Amino acid sequence: MCGDCAYSPRTFFHRKGGFEVEPKKKGMSLLAKQNAAGWVFLIPASAMIAIMSFFPMIKAFIMSLQTGVGTNMTFTGFDNYVRMFNDRVFLRSVGNTFIYLAIQVPIMLVLAILLAQLLNNRNLRFKGLFRTCVFLPCATSLVSYALIFRFLFAQDGFVNHIFQALGVMETGYNWLGNAATAKFVIIFALIWRWTGYNMVFYLAGLQNIEYSVYEAAQIDGASGWKTFWKITVPLLKPTIIMTFIMSINGTLQLFDESVNLTNGGPANATITMSHYVYNSCFLRSPNFGYACAMAFFIFILVAILAFINLKVGDTRD
């Protein structure tokens, strides 16, 4: 060991002014390593989102400005969008979709909140069984449950047999052959299928609310309705906004029920926007540009309504 330096297998110190100073270690700092690890996880996911989502969206928008098939696509500007707003069937599909949205979504979400409140009661017996029964429709295949409702509401189906047995009607009613009742069947099927799905979100939100809050409200003499309206609803507001946006998104893209229950009939009276996009793209003479234009219109509707819901529900100053 020399007089001006000290050496060990692990460290090397220089003497300076009577003190031993350890040289700076080479390599990445802890913060740099954490940032690098974050980018390692973020880049693959971002690349997949860009490839699987954003690139197809850009490609679809470019295609919406063209007409033709395959290599014969020609640029026509916004002609497809102009045609879209002059298409009576498409405008009817927009109207039908908003009818489903305006009727089904509020009823479904109100029922989901009420069922969640009921099944969140700690004194209720067999809660697990009841929760499972309400949620089971959500586990049913979309195509399967649509076909089941089609058979139930057929002219010789189970519903007509029940009404005939009760003496309400003498002959079977053609539920799916009438425009108004066919819409009712679709709305009823949607409520049956998705109420339990939304109930799970509300139930999770209710279980995060301290039970002492309700006990304090009872001590103060608050009624059940006032407790629900003044405590439960405000505390569930983020969950309500989330389920409302998801329900709007799903209803605007409604497809299976229109195809499998009524096939859009009678006379396009129940057809939805997504169903009409499918027909324009695959069943008739293929017009991918026009179908992309309608799909982009649906995308814009979803984005606008989601933005409005977020702004209305945002109570921050």
- Amino acid residing at 261: L
13 strand-pairing partners: 6
Residue 4 in this model has a pLDDT that exceeds 70: no
- Amino acid residing at 309: N
Question: Does an H or E element contain 200, and which?
Answer: helix 179-207
Q: Which residue has the higher pLDDT, 304 or 218?
A: 304
- Amino acid residing at 58: I
Across 13-27, 32-46, 199-213, 282-296, least confident range: 13-27
Q: Which domains can be identified in the chain, with CATH numbers?
A: 5-64 (no CATH), 86-313 (1.10.3720.10)
Rounded distance between C-alpha atoms, residue 267 and residue 177, angstroms: 9
**String of DSSP letters for 48-59:** HHIIIIIHHHHH
Neighbours of 200 (CB within 10 A): 16
Say what the pLDDT of residue 22 is: 54
- Cβ neighbourhood burial of 126 (10 Å; 0-12, 13-18, 19+): exposed
74 strand-pairing partners: 67
In this prediction, residue 12 has a pLDDT band, given cuts at 50, 70 and 90, of very low
Question: Does an H or E element contain 45, and which?
Answer: helix 30-49
pTM of structure? 0.81
